Chains A and B, each alone.
Chain A
Amino acid sequence: MKKNPEQEIDQSARFAFSFFVASAGLWLLAAALLAYIAAAKLTDPLFLSSLEFFTYGKIKVSQANAFVYGWGGNSIFAVSLWIIARLSQSLVRGSIFLIFAGAIWNLSITFGLLGILDGHMLGHELLEMPKQVWPALLVSYLIIAFIIFVVFRSRKQKVTIAPQWFIIAALIWFPCLFLFGWSGLELNPGRGTLQSILSIWFGQNVIWLWLTPVALGCAYYIIPSVLNRPIDKYYLAVFGFWCIAGLAPWSVVHHLEGGPVPMWVPAIGTVMSIAMVFPIAVASTNFHSTAFQDVSKVWNYLPLRFVIFGTLSYTISSYIGVIFSLPAVAKLTQFSIINEFHFNQRVYGFFSMIIFGIVYHILPQITGREIGTAAKNFHFWTSALGVFALLLAYLVGGLTHGVLGQQPSLAWATVIESVKPYFLITEYAFLILGFSQLVFVLNLWKVLVPNPFASSDRQANLKTA
């Protein structure tokens, strides 16, 4: 029986895709565990305190790195490989190099995180892993990105569409960001607070120009292809793309408001982040006016439900982010746990939810096996609940923290006392999220690595697939 071209492409991408998704799942669990430990240490400072390996600062930092580079990196490789291959209608070649580079990537992150826990942290945001691991990370990244590029270059259709722009751009941005950041922070370190500007520029842009565009690209891919209707007002997408490309690198430095840096730096950041309402509005219009033409399908097809949850979360929280970048508001919330709200809404509420959706969409096509509906529903509802509780706690807690912290007559201990209940909620939220992700990863592994002793009709199923 001759396979149709799509199945052939799936077949060629299967090995590498499975590898990346499987390792992404493990990193997700590692990050969930670290997130829970960190949250528990805030509610009970004596928890694990006698071990130097587990100081709060180290755990918190390694959680962010495990999440962004472990879970984020691997899942970015997986979904961009598959989406680019499908859209280019060309086969993935050199899977063995992908696996090889992926193994280096994962090993480097493992060593990097151990390095952080062992006390060799660098002081730059999301560049905290010790400097020895970065060359290996960069080389393995370039190998993977190069192979995806080769797939893209051999595309049948010369005209490109939105998901391709976002994903290819994200693949190019990350190494550029890294080299820019690295040159000013480690190779030829700037003096004084120049380092702080670059550090925040890099750390925020990794989220804005690496994780965000890939998730947006996934949404641009899955919504029209599942609903089988074109993106509404698609002509705006190109404007939205260039707005993000042009504004995001400038807007992120608004976090330095009032700090010991030249005044124009945060001022530009604020102006640019207000201008970010345009790309947010464009993406939101594109996604939601398309999706809401067929609400029942969105609701009933679980991967799409995940994705729309993610895009709604992106819209709402990005607008909230714009509000919090206004100087009058930043005065209150700048150094509060609102920062945790921003980070978690972006990586959990938006990026991860979309990746969950797209992985659920791809898995049956690539392996021929389906994860049970009950497990998927459990994953969706616990994730939604966990994300909602987490973000609400950080938002309300952050406002409390910020507003009370700005009352000079209130002792700092009193301020923290009133934030403590919110820390407790986040601990429970991370527990729920951890459970939810455990179910996801167990099922994922069960589908990717089938039990060789399974019953014969399932084996037969496998062969026909």
Chain B
Amino acid sequence: MNNIFKFSIYIFLTLSFAWLAFVVGATNQYGDLEPTAESLEEDGSIPPDAELFPKSMAGIAQLGAKEYLSLGCATCHTQQVRSEEAGFDVERGWGKRPSVPRDYILQEEVLLGHNRVGPDLANVGMREYSSEWLHKHLFMPQSVVEGSICQPSPFLYEENKEASVDSIEITNGETNIFIKPSLRANRIVAYLESLHQNYELPEIAFSDILEEDQSVEIASAVAEPETIATAFPSWLSEQMESGKEIYMKVGAGGGLCYTCHQINGQGIPGAFPPLTGSDWVLGDKERLIKLSIHGLMGEIEVNGEKYNGVMAGFGIQAGGPPLNDQQIADVLTYIRNDWGNSASAISPEEVASVRNSVKDRAPNQMWTAAELQSNSSPD
């Protein structure tokens, strides 16, 4: 103890042993985890054509993670479902299964957190909140959850007395106000909606606790969330969920739809046509699929208003890789059934058959409204 050099080296070693064990030990054990399929072949290989999990977040959600971090949301919200021995997180309905290391390998910001003044958010994207509900919660949590102590973020929204196309109505006592989400608010909501561990992995299956005891009510902080999916049969709600994701998503596997048609499907008057109540969306399926694949340009009349613009197709050549038949079916089904729209679902087979019928059309040759009208009217 009297030789400062020896003393320094000893206390340095006590510290570095622990660090080495945790860093080298843990890296060795799971530093090279990769996305994998929900279940593996018997020989441990990934089945061909299997979907791999976890999926990487859409670009807009990754930006949302940075906003989430910078506002300090992680101070009160964890993003981890503890194992069944270590707590009642699964029973509380905070996830279908405990979180495992593999769930986090593609996240740039891993925000496990260690305080739950607010609920756990590891699976918030799986709960049945609409993005409108999330926006309301972000703007003024107390307007949707009574007694919440979550901090409002009004600085992310533009407040108006009057309704505008993409605004959200909030009832505040007697008066109603309308809020318009900023880009940052949209990023955060996209991030929250992307948070889910809704897949099984070879190392962890969905917990059977909830099925054993159906009487346990899944309690969450929600008074009565507006749902997009509960009214539909499960196959349809799956399609709706995936369609909504594509609608909101930027980058690979995304349709980028909301940037023009807006989150509420209302479009922007004079610039982008609405999807709600539009005959182009709710009417002839073939016409809708065609313009989705190749895109549409020129003058078009929607709900009595004239628009003149260009919509890139997303079936053949989009900014990123084109959507496949299933994805197109999902997103079209979604726009036909949200925001008060209600029309039959579109199946991947229907998309495939239309795609086949127009396979001779040049990829860059967009449809015009007149062309589509004349094509469909004889039928």
- Chain B residues packing against A (C-beta within 8 Å): 1-2, 4, 7-8, 10-12, 14-19, 21-23, 25-27, 29-31, 33, 69-76, 78, 80, 82-83, 85-88, 91-93, 98-105, 107, 109-119, 141-142, 145-155, 216-217, 219-221
Contact = CB atoms under 8 A, between A and B. Distances in A.
User: In the complex, which of the residues B83, B88, B110, B152 has the most CB atoms of chain A within 10 Å of its own CB atom?
Assistant: B110
A165 B110 CA distance: 37
B72 A57 contact: yes
Interface in A168-209: 168-169, 172-173, 176-177, 180, 184, 190-198, 200-201, 205, 209
Given A193-B110, A194-B26, A405 B116 contact: yes
B12 A176 contact: yes
Interface string A48-62: 011110011111110
A120 B82 contact: no
Contacts of B148: 45, 413, 416
B152 A249 contact: no
A327 interface: yes
A192 B85 CA distance: 23
Interface stretch (A92-100, A259-267, A307-315, A353-361): A259-267
A405 B120 CA distance: 11
B125 to A, nearest CB: 17
A286 B177 CA distance: 65
Contacts of A242: 14
Nearest to A194: B26
Nearest to B119: A412
Given A52-B155, A192-B33, A411 B107 contact: no
Interface string A293-321: 00000000000000000000000000000
B15 A173 contact: yes
Contact of B109 (A123, A172, A177): A123
A337 B118 CA distance: 11
A149 B5 CA distance: 11
Given A46-B152, A120-B70, A420-B149, A169 B11 contact: yes
A256 B86 CA distance: 10
Given A191-B105, A249-B14, A60 B23 contact: no
Nearest to B28: A262
Contacts of A327: 85-86
A260 B83 CA distance: 8
Interface of A: 41-43, 45-46, 49-52, 55-61, 119-121, 123, 125, 149, 152-153, 158-160, 165, 168-169, 172-173, 176-177, 180, 184, 190-198, 200-201, 205, 209, 238, 242, 245-246, 249-250, 253, 255-262, 264-265, 268, 327, 330-331, 334-337, 339, 405-413, 416-417, 420, 423
A59 B21 CA distance: 34
Q: Is the interface of B mostly helix, strand, loop or mixed?
A: loop
Contacts of A119: 70-71
A257 B82 CA distance: 8
Closest 9 CB pairs of A and B: A57-B72, A258-B86, A258-B82, A249-B18, A119-B70, A192-B104, A408-B91, A57-B75, A335-B116
Nearest to B54: A192
B322 to A, nearest CB: 31
Given A55-B153, A262-B29, A408-B92, A209 B15 contact: yes
Given A60-B75, A262-B30, A416-B117, 11 more contacts: A45-B150, A46-B152, A49-B152, A50-B155, A172-B11, A180-B19, A192-B103, A258-B98, A262-B29, A406-B88, A410-B219
Contacts of B7: 160, 165, 168-169
Contacts of B118: 412
A119 B72 CA distance: 8
Given A201-B19, A411-B221, A337 B117 contact: yes
Contacts of B110: 123, 192-193, 195-196
14 contacts: A46-B152, A55-B151, A58-B72, A61-B72, A119-B70, A121-B70, A165-B1, A168-B8, A173-B11, A190-B23, A192-B33, A192-B101, A249-B15, A259-B80
